[in-house]
Amino acid sequence: MAYCYHIELNRCKGCGLCVMVCPKKVLELSDQVNNMGYFPAYQARPEDCILCAICCTMCPDVAISITEKADAEPCPDR
């Protein structure tokens, strides 16, 4: 089983909580604004992500998800 990590960019208000709590320092805030005018979080170093889901739990806007997928399947386009 593999996993898809997704941040819904246009739900993110750029509060930075996920950036602060990530134990592996994977996340940063983008320098590009989203549809709401905020600088959203993104995985700057996805190869370091251990899928601990602390960021998902912390996000007050439920903008981050980790979902299971079959090994052979790609992550869905969003």
Q: Kindly list the residues in this chain that would bind ligand SF4 in the complex (CB under 6 A).
A: 7, 12-18, 22, 24, 26-27, 40-41, 49-55, 58-59, 61, 63-64
DSSP 20: H
Yes or no: say if 30 and 39 are a contact pair by the CB < 8 Å rule.
yes
- Nearest residue (CB) to ligand SF4, 48 versus 70: 48
DSSP 65: E
Residue 9 CB, nearest approach to ligand SF4 (Å):
9
Yes or no: say if 2 and 63 are a contact pair by the CB < 8 Å rule.
no
